[in-house]
Structure 1
Amino acid sequence: MENVFADISTAAVIVAHPDDETLWAGGTILMHPEINWTIMTLCRKSDLDRAPKFFKVMNILKAKGFMADLDDGPEQRPLEQTDIRQAILTTLPQRGYDIVLTHGHKGEYTRHLRHEEVSQAVVNLWKQGQLKAKCLLLFAYEDGGKKYLPRPRKDADIVIDLPKNIWQKKKDIIINSYGFSPDSFEAAVVSNAEAYELKTSKDTEK
């Protein structure tokens, strides 16, 4: 079902943090250089460490990067959906793309509130027509309630097996560009398959 990317010229990836775009969709981005990719992160614009690394990675991915600066403190206080939606609409350079990728409803592992909040905001903007796209792709991973590292969900609509060179480049970005240790959680979850839940126009009516 990877033909969802056929005849696609513009795509947006909307994530909570710098590195999420690579962890959950980096292989997809690398495999489709013909697409004009826009990548937006909702947090860490003022992070003097992560922000420069994010833009370095944008050069590697040949994507246009945009950052907002929503709270991402260790307390992870819930954010207002109106604030998240407003940040998306004011930070993205345009309101319409052929396809939009973002976090799954329950995030990708147990548990990161920001991932869940961003997913909810993107889906609602799309359903309301404020963010236009032919379809949405929601990252489809799970960790069995912390029993194992995140892996593609068995009920994923699309699973893309990454060629070894693409998987290696994805891992190199996490370790060498973002600076995570080879023994880190982030390096460990770099999967050789990427998975998505597909939402099309019929889902806007639900």
Structure 2
Amino acid sequence: AYGIKVICYNFMPIFDWVRTDLHYPLPDGSTDMAFQHKYVEGSPEEIIKSVEKNSNGYVLPGWEPERLAEVKRLFEAYKDVDEKKLRENLKYFLDAIIPTCEKYDVRMAMHPDDPPMPLFGLPRIYKNREDMIKIEQMHESKYNGFTICTGSLGENPKNDVPAIIREFVKKDRAPFIHARNIKFMGNGDFHESAHLSSEGSLDMYEIM
């Protein structure tokens, strides 16, 4: 009704994207967000306390106080959900909505897991090209598409982000490209960065 033709959504259980510091200082005096593995070890309660300590008053999506109060119940609900089960749930969702998307010309664009790795013992099903192929095969329609977030996929240096963009744009499965840069800090840790290639670890020229 409002003319919205692309919907970016994710399928990350319990939590949305995760950062461990929402106020990470940079040399130029600005701040951004960072992810460090040492802060996501331990029980969910310990992780929450650690993230809250580093949040500087900001709140991650999915970490709102009213939701954190239910975190134990949510982890209990997902205790038997692995990647296979989560994929089955995604297929159920896509089979239900894609016919309506086709009727009204609305492209669904699934956002990558961020970071693209299992966290807190929860399954992640959009981490790399291989996952994208599996999702693509769930419903052979261009309305079953992807948000290719270069920062999210780029957090794993094994992901060839420009190649992924070329492949899925050519197949008309990428109605939304979220172009951003990140900077590796070692040991798989990273922080957000300005867009220029020189400011981060991704080749933003090649990506564009």
Q: TM-score range by the shorter chain?
A: 0.3 to 0.5
User: TM-score with structure 2 length normalisation?
Assistant: 0.34
Q: Give 1 or 2 for the bigger CA radius of gyration.
A: 2
User: TM-score with structure 1 length normalisation?
Assistant: 0.34
